[in-house]
Structure 1
Amino acid sequence: MAEPSVLVSDQSNSRVITLNRPHRRNAIDLQLRVELAEALESAAEDTSVRVVVLTGAGGTFCSGGDISTMKRMDRSESVPRAQAAQRVTKAIWTSPKPVIAAVEGSAFGAGVSLAAACDRVVASDEAVFSTAFTGVGLAGDMGLFSSLPARVGPAVARQLMLLPRKLRAADAQELGLVDELAPAGEALDRALADAAVIAAAPPLAVREMKSLWQHWASEPCSVLDLEVEAQARLFDSADFAEGVEAFHAKRPPVFTGH
């Protein structure tokens, strides 16, 4: 039997959801998207769970989308694929339970989107962040166009997406992408300590906070549909095909705008 892409365990009132593809640095393929969305939705409905902690196995949070599973595709393939990713973000944003990201190692591409979508980000002081989508001819998804500007401001978000440099954890914290730093190897422990504090808060008040944050952010879920349309157009581009080919060939991509 294949190893599950997502592991679930409970510690008191906190549910730990772990991306479990360490051999691919927890890169997100379709199976992981589905299992992760289901795990988040299940936690949202479980009355014994008050806080969710999201982390990655093998010392890495998430290296982004699994490029080894990507190829040029038309809308019939790309839209369901993109929607499966957006289901994960919707599950985080609409959950009545706070979600804390515990980041070790790298958070690249969709890994940044996943962390930024969470209510709190605790990162190892050795963690590295990068939006990285343009490297394969994509713009970004999983709520990046809402969550990243909400965290770092629109101007900084533009720069991080246009010039996707690698950010050290301390720099990410200074910008607002990370809320708290922990020593290497201790991000999950620190996140669980925070989760215990939040779990002691009144659940109904926390539920109302999560609901009200959605309105304060001007209904961010609407950006998810726009991201799907953009990703569908880009997945069927020559530039995307070139980005994937260059990745596999370990050479710089040459984009032509086709």
Structure 2
Amino acid sequence: MYRNIILQKADSIATIILNRPEAMNAMNLEMFEELESAQKDIVMDKDVRAVVITGKGKAFSSGADFELVSYLLTLTSERFKETLRYLQRVVTMVEEMDKPVIAAINGYALGGGLDLALACDLRLAVSHAKLSEHYVKVGIIPDLGGTQRLPRLIGLSKAKEMIFFGDMVDAEYAERIGLVDRVLSEDDFVAKTYSTAARLASGPSVAIGLAKKALHAGYEAVRSGLEHEVHGQEICMRTADVKEGISAFHAKRGPIFSGK
């Protein structure tokens, strides 16, 4: 049914596996469409009481696929905004689902991949995981909720540091600043992720769903903040810095930004 993800269900737990390991699970448009479909399936399935999102291979997700970025660059301003709003809605579905969602960060979680993890309720990371809001490396801003959800987790100053520099952080540091909830050894990662999911699945699902809704009730500023990302990203995409950032990435060299 799916080409870019795998959807599994067992013991009241649904697992969404991002399934482009050859591309470090980079997110293309088809993957977003499949994530939307899988989430709708999970929401309708009353037997599912907890959800795990993870990646196949060595990455959770390395973020947006460069083919998707290249496609976005070809769009008119209005079409660009419409498409980005759609991508944001797919990620926000994770947050709005009335079932608890665990991000099982099995490796690299970068850019949009980290933004997807931020929309989950809990983040468990394997000890060798690396995380980054690396958008700035190609001259753009977080556009899947990173500017809104990250500071709510780790504080405004730390979020600015991660977003302004785009540096990678390791799992231990991520746990220390509250970016992930728990770091697990490679040997324990899968078992402890699913034992956590099982605890959630065996809990009072109505109460957990309503608690999640109540916790997010004061969170509505995220919605208007997402629109700031849309407008800001549309401006960034028209700069010379983006062309330089993408060119440098493909050439495997450091970018020389002009601020234009």
Q: With structure 1 as the length reference, what TM-score do the two structures score?
A: 0.94
Which residue pairs with 1:32 in the alignment? 31
Which residue pairs with 1:223 in the alignment? 225
Which residue pairs with 1:43 in the alignment? 42
- The superposition leaves residues 166-191 of structure 1 with CA deviations (integer Å, 9 ceiling, x where unpaired) of 11101000000010111126433322
Q: With structure 2 as the length reference, what TM-score do the two structures score?
A: 0.93
- The superposition leaves residues 16-61 of structure 1 with CA deviations (integer Å, 9 ceiling, x where unpaired) of 0010111100011111111112212321222111111000011310
Which residue pairs with 1:198 in the alignment? 200
Query: For the residues of structure 2 that align with 1:142 and 1:240, how far apart are their CA atoms?
Result: 18
Which amino acid in 2 is paired with 1:226?
H
From 97, 103, 106, the equivalent of 2:105 is: 103
Number of residues paired by the alignment? 257
SS at match of 1:107: strand
Query: For the residues of structure 2 that align with 1:219 and 1:199, how far apart are their CA atoms?
Result: 29
Which residue pairs with 1:89 in the alignment? 91
Say if 1:219 and 1:76 are closer, same or farther in 2 by CA, change over 3 A: closer
SS at match of 1:184: coil
Q: Report the CA distance between 1:123 and its aligned residue.
A: 0.4
Gaps of 5+ in 2: none
Query: For the residues of structure 2 that align with 1:26 and 1:91, how far apart are their CA atoms?
Result: 19
Which amino acid in 2 is paired with 1:27?
A
Gaps of 5+ in 1: none
Contact 1:103–1:187, Cα closer than 8 Å, also in 2: no
SS at match of 2:208: helix
Q: Report the CA distance between 1:243 and its aligned residue.
A: 1.1
Q: Percent identity?
A: 32
Q: Report the CA distance between 1:218 and its aligned residue.
A: 3.7
Q: Greater relative contact order: 1 or 2 (C-alpha under 8 angstroms, separation 6 or more)?
A: 1
- The superposition leaves residues 62-84 of structure 1 with CA deviations (integer Å, 9 ceiling, x where unpaired) of 01111244233342442233123
The aligned runs of 1:1-258 (5 Å cut-off) are 4-71=3-70, 72-73=73-74, 74-184=76-186, 186-258=188-260
Query: For the residues of structure 2 that align with 1:140 and 1:13, how far apart are their CA atoms?
Result: 33
SS at match of 2:54: strand
